Amino acid sequence: MAQINCRIRNPKLAIRRFLDPVRAAFTTRPDGSSWARAANTWRMALAYVEGLVRPGSHKTLRGIGKRMDVHEDRIRRFITQSPWNHDALQAHLNDTIPDRIASPEAMLIFDDVDFRKKGNHSVGVTRQYAGSIGKVDNCQVAVDLVSAVPGAARNADQLTWPLGMDLYLPRPWIEEDHYAELRDEVGLPEDIEFRTKPEIALELIERARSANVPHACVGADAGYGDDRELRSQLRA
């Protein structure tokens, strides 16, 4: 994945404007109810995202907390215990595609996204292929889906919109006994099942289709295209 460097004059204001449309996903439950400290949840959402995009190499909870002058336990509770629902957030992305991108000429594109790590306590982290560096490394891997409208004259002019992302959990993380302590430590549900990357991709696409996201075709690299079951399901 290419890394883009840009300078934002007021990152705090820019992040608030970016997240304001999805504020309800961070402050209400799927049934529409809220909770006593919803305003604090919203503040932690803003702090967490700003901590991720601010300059600096340490994107851990401790690093983000230090960068944002917030105790890391507050960031951790936002990630692990707050009632906000990530499915509602991703559903909002599918329902609010900008008009310029909600085009019948759009293409749904899914691919791996890797997050390189130095430790072994992040959910799903192990030595696996990292596409950003083209080799095996210690990392987490997620599958993401975007909607893209081609540029009229060049690829650099294309418009994209994120539709969803789900973490890939390698089979050992779910099935092998020596990961049991880590599963408990990070709070993985006991009933979680292994999913291949193509299976995750198909779930993301079905979610987009259920939301009537307009598109002309679906694209991916050969790592997904070689999967016969995925191709069959996409043609169905």
Whole-number pLDDT of residue 32 = 83
Whole-number pLDDT of residue 8 = 63
Strand (E) or helix (H) holding 91? helix 86-95
Residues of the chain with pLDDT under 70: 1-8
Whole-number pLDDT of residue 2 = 40
Whole-number pLDDT of residue 6 = 53
Inter-CA distances, 139 with 127, 144, 207, Å: 6, 16, 26
Residues 153, 155, 158, 163: what is their CA dihedral angle, to the nearest 10 degrees?
Answer: 150
Whole-number pLDDT of residue 141 = 97
* Cα(195)–Cα(184) distance, integer angstroms: 19
